[in-house]
A and B are shown apart, each in its own frame.
Chain A
């Protein structure tokens, strides 16, 4: 977490245990599909926190 915080512009969010990696990794496919559809380079921001 400290490593991510050290990089300007990145905010680490603790999403839980390693078993959550499955959902995090799968969501990459969604990001890429949106990037292709909108010819964009998206990133993730979570509101409310």
Chain B
């Protein structure tokens, strides 16, 4: 299995990429900036040299070539990121993991988007893809630390 993570250089993308690669899944971290994606992939592989993690960096189009594609960008750039990849992502499973949150004072609050959720907004942008929503409630720092045990449910 090959998983691509669009905008995968952030904490959530890195963490998930690490965990999936540790499970033997081939992972492509995508970014608008190819050099940054390659640097992040090299950093993750270098962090766990004994594991030989199957992670590589690419632009977002390269990550979109994977069998399953995760949208790892902040919620407000999800649509902008997937739109140019619409044809490439047709008929694929695309996983939306972002939550629409805004800072109100000291707190982050959920806001309701016109279509209800980030996932539904991404589905509208990619009508020929199969959108699913997952990975919202995982602690990114713990994901990246492969020595840290993980016992979490993922609501899909």
Contact = CB atoms under 8 A, between A and B. Distances in A.
Interface stretch (B33-41, B49-57, B80-88, B144-152): B144-152
A46 to B, nearest CB: 5
Interface residues of A, number: 35
Contacts of A45: 151-153
**Would you call the interface of chain B mostly helix, strand, loop, or mixed?**
mixed
6 contacts: A7-B22, A24-B136, A33-B107, A33-B108, A43-B150, A44-B153
Interface of B: 1, 3, 19-20, 22-25, 68, 96, 98-101, 106-110, 112, 116-120, 123, 131-134, 136-139, 141-142, 149-156
Interface of A: 1, 3-4, 6-15, 18-22, 24-29, 31-33, 35-36, 41-46
